[in-house]
Amino acid sequence: MTTSPQNKVYIIYLIGLIMGGGWACPDNSKPPEKAEPSSSLVAQPAVPTPRQKPELLFSLRIHESSGAISELRLQPEAEFEIEPSQRIEVLANQPLVDFRVRLMDAQERVLPSDEEIVSDAHGTSVNIQLLSPLKPANSLILLVDSQLAHLSNNQGDTYDDFRISLKVRGEPEKPAPPPPPKTKTSKKKAQKRAKR
């Protein structure tokens, strides 16, 4: 039995399908494309956030004449009442660098005192030992300002000057009564007393 050329091609085609050859049917499918990552998942370069300047807070520790210790949290430009004292501590919540602390009377004259300053990573303490105790009803000014350029901490943050008014509790001291006037005695009376 002779087979025509067309039948030969057909038989070869069938053999190819049976054997699983893919040459008879060219694969026109494209390889799967790689999925593009969504823009939200793409790592963005980290932008450093600016460091926030820490708040500068002050408090006052009063060693009262009675032996008690009281503490006040201070607000700038406010007025506070304190007990009579001879020792006051000014406390800051940051280690200060360029600063000075002055306790003044109502005429802004600095009160004579000895000072001791302690500063560490937790803050600054200024111990003011007055040479004479505060008198009741006296008005005072506490000023923390710069010694050279700007009130600042050890990280270079600068702050406005800090100023408060203080009033010492109690009634004003009464002035001492004047000494009694000396009586003038005449020379004659003095001579008579001498003769007796």
User: How high is the pLDDT of residue 16?
Assistant: 60
User: How high is the pLDDT of residue 63?
Assistant: 95
* Dihedral (Cα; 33, 36, 37, 39), 10-degree rounding: -170
Domains of the chain plus CATH, in order, are: 58-168 (2.60.40.1220)
C-beta of residue 90 within 8 angstroms of C-beta of residue 101: yes
Dist CA 65 CA 85 (whole Å): 5
The amino acid at 178? P
Please list the residues that pair with 116 across neighbouring strands: 127
Closest CA to 153 of 123, 190, 188: 123
Ordered per-residue pLDDT tens for the chain, 196 residues: 555 555 555 566 556 656 655 444 555 555 556 656 555 555 666 777 777 889 999 999 999 988 899 999 999 889 999 999 999 999 999 999 999 999 999 999 999 999 999 999 899 999 999 999 999 999 999 999 998 989 999 999 999 999 999 999 988 877 777 777 776 555 555 555 555 5
User: How high is the pLDDT of residue 104?
Assistant: 96
Q: Which residues contact 121 (CB under 8 A, 6 or more apart)?
A: 95
User: How high is the pLDDT of residue 24?
Assistant: 46
Q: Average pLDDT of the chain?
A: 81
Dist CA 152 CA 97 (whole Å): 6
Q: Which residues contact 84 (CB under 8 A, 6 or more apart)?
A: 64, 65, 133, 134, 135, 136, 168, 169, 170
146 burial type by CB count under 10 A (0-12 exposed, 13-18 middle, 19+ buried): middle
User: How high is the pLDDT of residue 172?
Assistant: 84
Closest CA to 121 of 141, 87, 93, 84: 93
User: How high is the pLDDT of residue 42?
Assistant: 59
Dist CA 82 CA 85 (whole Å): 8
**Six token digits for residue 6:** 């067309």
